[in-house]
Amino acid sequence: MASTSLHLGVALDGAGWHPAAWREPNSRPTELFAPSYWTDLVATAERGLLDFVSIEDTLTAPTERHLRADDAVDRVRARIDAHLIAARVAPVTSGIGLIPTITTTHTEPFHVSKALATLDYTSRGRAGWQVRISGTADEAAHFGRREVHSPADEEIANVLAGGDLPAGVLELFDEAQDVIEVVRRLWDSWEDGAEIRDVATRRFIDRDKLHYIDFEGRFFDVRGPSITPRPPQGQPVVAALAHQRVPYELAARGGDLVFVTPSVDGPQTVLDDVAGALARTGREGEPLRVYADLVVFLDTSQEPGASRLDRLNTLDGREFHSDAAVFTGSAETLADLLTDWRGLGFDGFRLRPGVAVDDLATISDTLVPILQRRGLFRTAYPDLPLRGLLGLPTDVPNRYATV
């Protein structure tokens, strides 16, 4: 029997990844910040038995990647908090993983640890975290606690041409590495079984099973322990989006998943880049899972995907560009592409719906049945936490546990 190991998730970003997506008839622009919109989207993804939804977030109004903020009013220029969206949909879902984006640069690691541990409890072991840095002065100005210098135009051009990241951005990645380390240590600062809850002896916790983490680093010192018991998964899933050497190394040192953006013509190059990062960081033990990102505009019964994209570009007044490869076509052709790329060595795929409502429904109702008929995708959720659903170890040792 064919393997059912193809892993498939989706990345949700407002009305969709195309800037004009909110203007589509099914996009519900008046409900983009309503709880029902997000519960409906995640319910659609869960109907397709997808591994997870990741929820995009930044600390500034959405804009196209690498473009300066502007005053355009024909695009969605607002966000609601990704972690709180995940918290809202957790109780009304049962099988799908929830991976909100939480920025490290202006957020204390203690708060991140506590928030994600809580999400793991409310979702019954389905929480993850997409790590993101905040590298612009506009975002830093919202907080006023530190200076962050936005990369100059020539520095951005150098990065896009394959050059190194600016020194200030490199420092933010160093800080993000420390944040991941502290968050993971705080998750382990309570041993399993630390909660006794014995009314007769008046002992709620076993204090010997709580541990100081005593982290001392360049950016902060954190004593611990957490005030939240160890999450149900032990260690919720940690992911990062990466495009080049330094982000690859961040994922290799601290992540479980890395989301990458291969081109349609040369996906093998990205796998080689990740392998190089793993070698440079000396990662041992559990391998880093590599998920390929694709923006998708899928054929519908009314309109081919390519025509949909052209029409959206006309509405927006410019051609759509993305850091990830853009796929237009049928669900059948996309299934062929995913099958071929899985053979190259990708562990899974994260699809970015060009128009959230329309393309997500096609993913769940058309693409998934095609993969199921090919014996490449599950027909029901197993009774497993998110780590188990993704093929990660579910019995995660606690670094502080005493023998």
CA distance linking residue 353 with residue 355, whole number of Å: 5
Question: Among candidates 346, 387, 264, which has minimal Cα distance to 6?
Answer: 346
Per-residue DSSP letters for 343-362?
HHT--EEEEEESSHHHHHHH
The token pair at 176 is 């993000």
Contact in structure between 133 and 172 (CB atoms under 8 Å): yes
* The length of the chain, given as a count of residues: 403
Radius of gyration of the chain (CA): 21
Helix, strand, coil: what percent of the chain each, to 5?
Answer: 40, 15, 45
Binding-site positions: 57, 101
Q: Is there a contact between 134 and 140 (Cβ–Cβ < 8 Å)? A: yes
* CB contact set of 40 (below 8 Å; sequence gap of 6+): none
**C-alpha distance from residue 79 to each of 19, 66, 181, 215 (Å):** 14, 18, 28, 33
Among 59, 96, 115, CA closest to 382: 96
Bind-site residues for FMN:
57, 101
